[in-house]
A = this chain, B = another copy of it.
């Protein structure tokens, strides 16, 4: 990886552990294996590093949204996938979603950084809300809505049903970010949550 990229990578690691203000340019340089002044050949100043991390995330996200093309145009076809989704599949979906977001190094670090910085500007608050509130709810709402349309889940309020699915996952995710030792407990709770969710919304009928 070239130096310019490595700077972003090491900066993200440090920002996610200590927060922007507690990380010094020299700390980042140390981890990259250069001296602080050299870093200024790659980025104008410290803030530019932070901004570049945010920009990179926006790019990654745009690409991901592109590839994740279960987007309504062929909802009819996609619904077939979820029509006969077993409880096992729903469990796997939840666990997969949870473990991916929890362990994926980039996601984890970015989420922790945003958690620390979310109150510093409206822009950062908006990014947090988009990534961890509105987008997951919209995406899962679409999926669960299709399952409901296929008659495998029963509700007159898909959005609340989705909240009931996602909020516990979010809750356990933030708990593990704070205290990784509680992951086994979280995984157990996650399984019980999804099974209970399944029963409550009447998949077996």
Contacts and interface: CB of A to CB of B under 8 A. Distances in A.
Interface of A: 16-19, 21-22, 112, 115-116, 118-120, 125-126, 128-129, 133, 155, 157, 159-161, 163-164, 166-168, 170-171, 174-175, 177-179, 182, 189, 192-193, 196-197, 200-201
Contact of A164 (B118, B125, B155, B193): B193
Nearest to A175: B133
A112 B115 CA distance: 10
Nearest to A122: B179
Contacts of A164: 164, 168, 193, 196-197, 200
Contacts of A182: 129
Given A157-B196, A171-B163, A193-B163, A119 B128 contact: no
B192 A157 contact: yes
A128 B174 CA distance: 11
Contacts of A179: 125-126, 129
Contacts of A125: 178-179
Nearest to A166: B171
Contacts of A155: 196
A196 B160 contact: yes
Contacts of A196: 155, 157, 160-161, 164
A175 B137 CA distance: 13
B18 A120 contact: yes
